[in-house]
Amino acid sequence: MNHRTSNKLAIGLTLALTAVYLAGPLAVHSRPEGLDTDAFGELPALFSGRCKPIDSIARNSLMSISGRQSLMRDTESLDAVTWLLDVIARPDVADHDGVFRVDHPGVRGLLGLTDPTVKRASYNLLMQKASELQAQAVLADQTPQDQRDAYQGKVLQLSNQLALYQSLRGMDAIRLVPTDSVPGEWAPIHFVSQAGGGSTRSARIADGYRQLFVAYRDRDASRFNSLTHSLRDMMRLDHRALTDRARLEAAFNRYGVFFRASVLYLVIGLMTMVCWLRWQRVLHGAAFALLVVVLGVHTLGLGMRVYLSGRPPVTNLYSSALFIGWGVAVLCVILEYLHRNTMGLVVAAAAGFTTLLIAQGLSGNGDSMAVLQAVLDTNFWLATHVVVITLGYSATYLAGLLGVAYIFRGVFTRSLGEADSKQLAQMIYGVICFATLFSFVGTILGGIWADQSWGRFWGWDPKENGALVIVLWNALVLHARWGGLVRHRGIAVLAVFGNVVTSWSWFGVNMLGRGLHSYGFIDSAAWWLAIFVVSQLLVIGIGGVPERLWRSRSKPVGSHRPIGTPAPTGQGKIAALNAE
């Protein structure tokens, strides 16, 4: 079998297996006891200012409280919608579930959690300690934010989680019923009076929900399913667009497009590593084809979020992580198509998997498509300034990851010959040029937006300073290269420090709690950021080792060929020997 046939078979087999993996969740799953909780989760409701499916309310609430989207009860795994139904209709059961994650030793001591194997507390346990918890929460709330310690922060977090649970339990926060009197207004079911003779549709919907919760409590699957479909039909009469959008969002949640994309990015990385060892011609084409497919899946996920939210792709830290990974993957496809040296494959796999993992960690803050603050409520600037500057982030990270690959290949392997070194340096240089342009333009657009919003173009806000530092660092790298201060190794080392600069602008300034960009503040991930910065400084230190000690320099320069490139044969081999 020749190489061309093997290549086609490998690509075909890879795409077929990928199609099976992606199509798997589309199969219809039977529900336990016949309860169609998927259909119930597709019903629309108003929660936290946004009309969304009950499925999203359940997932976001459980994630905020427990840090996960499913629950183990004894040996049974419950999805978020079933958990929410239990909280509403069977609180005597749900109140015993350990859903409140408690990690801080001081908070565990406050609650009397002495067993180290018990990581979560139940609602019943919290209510037993409600007075102590409330007293500590009041003291923490009276302490200025910049003076609170970790214990006070965790106490306030737990207090807020308890309040969220109680609002779900009492159905105060979830507005299930669209009102007849005021268009666009929704109300909790207990705010809508009983329909004496079925006088209004709102009253009939409220009554339908009351009967549905009774049917769920009684485990009457037939009546539960009938009422669910009846409620959906009534909703569609006056709110067809909202109902259809909610149904689509619920299906999008269940599919887990970004989780599946992260798995495929990991597969690409593994295929590339095997490609370095053997079967280079066969696996290289298959891995590139898979990257194109994964990029399509990633793009589809972003497009669905844009459609469902009605906003550009980047509106918060969660969506920025999704978009940065996507931007790196797009640039990697272009680089791999042009150079075919597997660097685009391995960097796309690393960046795609890591950014989607970061996004998963950021999803615990609640609704990732939440209503925006007034200062952000402009699709024009979100689509220009935010998208452009995030592409600048993506390109700077890509240059830094290519720099890491250059250093690792040079120090620890024999694969970095003079030709490879020159090619990788050219890739880094081109990407930094792209990053400089987009970072600069994005920063200027941000200044114009700030002038319109706050009446000044520049105010040395921490976020503004972070954006400026990225521009200045990329410009420094380019000038160092143009001035001959650095060559191949130098530009790679400088590009790695670009990862530190970009991470500080992306995450670091959001941890300061200062400035007008308050919508981006977070109080976690500081340790992860510190670990990442230290790792990049170590890579830079490794890159500073004298080149005579690099393993790749132990063979004659120019004797290597790019990874994934077939060895020359025939006239090509003669030409290569003459070149040496």
pLDDT (tens digit per residue) in 22-62: 998 776 554 555 889 999 999 999 998 889 999 999 999 99
The CA distance from 455 to 269, in Å, is 47
pLDDT value of position 201 = 84
Residues 472 and 520 in one domain: yes
- Taking residues 73-99, what's their average pLDDT? 91
Is pLDDT at 470 greater than 90 in this prediction?
Answer: yes
Residue predicted with more confidence, 298 or 415? 298
- Taking residues 242-253, what's their average pLDDT? 94
* 462 close to 517: Cβ distance less than 8 angstroms: yes
Residues 390 and 463 in one domain: yes
- What predicted TM-score, i.e. pTM, was given to this entire model? 0.87
- Taking residues 65-91, what's their average pLDDT? 90
The CA distance from 554 to 557, in Å, is 8
Residue predicted with more confidence, 509 or 481? 481
Residues 440 and 521 in one domain: yes
Question: What are 488-520's pLDDT values in tens digits?
Answer: 999 999 999 999 999 988 887 766 656 566 555
73 is a domain residue:
no
456 is a domain residue:
yes
Last residue of some domain: 320, 349, 371? 371
Is pLDDT at 293 greater than 80 in this prediction?
Answer: yes
Amino acid (one-letter) located at 331 = L
411 is a domain residue:
yes
Range(s) of the domain holding residue 328 = 1-30+256-371
74 is a domain residue:
no
* 236 close to 243: Cβ distance less than 8 angstroms: yes
Residues 449 and 570 in one domain: yes
Is pLDDT at 118 greater than 80 in this prediction?
Answer: yes
The CA distance from 307 to 400, in Å, is 32
pLDDT band at 555 (very low <50, low <70, confident <90, very high): low
Contact residues for 422 (Cβ-Cβ < 8 A; gap 6+): 488
Is pLDDT at 570 greater than 50 in this prediction?
Answer: no
Contact residues for 171 (Cβ-Cβ < 8 A; gap 6+): 88, 188, 189, 190
Last residue of some domain: 371, 401, 424? 371
The tally of domains found in the chain comes to 2
Residues 458 and 529 in one domain: yes
Of 105, 109, 150, whose CA–CA distance to 132 is shortest? 109
Amino acid (one-letter) located at 173 = A
- Taking residues 330-359, what's their average pLDDT? 94
153 is a domain residue:
no
pLDDT value of position 516 = 63
- Taking residues 412-416, what's their average pLDDT? 87
Tell me whether residue 37 is exposed, middle or buried, using C-beta atoms within 10 angstroms of its C-beta: 0 to 12, 13 to 18, 19 or more.
buried
Of 415, 422, 402, whose CA–CA distance to 552 is shortest? 415
Beta bridge partners of 72: 77
- Taking residues 430-447, what's their average pLDDT? 95
The CA distance from 71 to 78, in Å, is 5
Residues 364 and 454 in one domain: no
Q: Name the strand (E) or helix (H) holding 92.
A: helix 91-94
pLDDT value of position 199 = 56
Report the DSSP pairing between strands 120-122 and 50-53: unpaired
Residues 423 and 311 in one domain: no
Is pLDDT at 167 greater than 70 in this prediction?
Answer: yes
Is pLDDT at 370 greater than 90 in this prediction?
Answer: no
Measured between its terminal Cα atoms, the distance across the chain in Å is 33
pLDDT band at 377 (very low <50, low <70, confident <90, very high): low
Is pLDDT at 264 greater than 60 in this prediction?
Answer: yes
Is pLDDT at 218 greater than 50 in this prediction?
Answer: yes
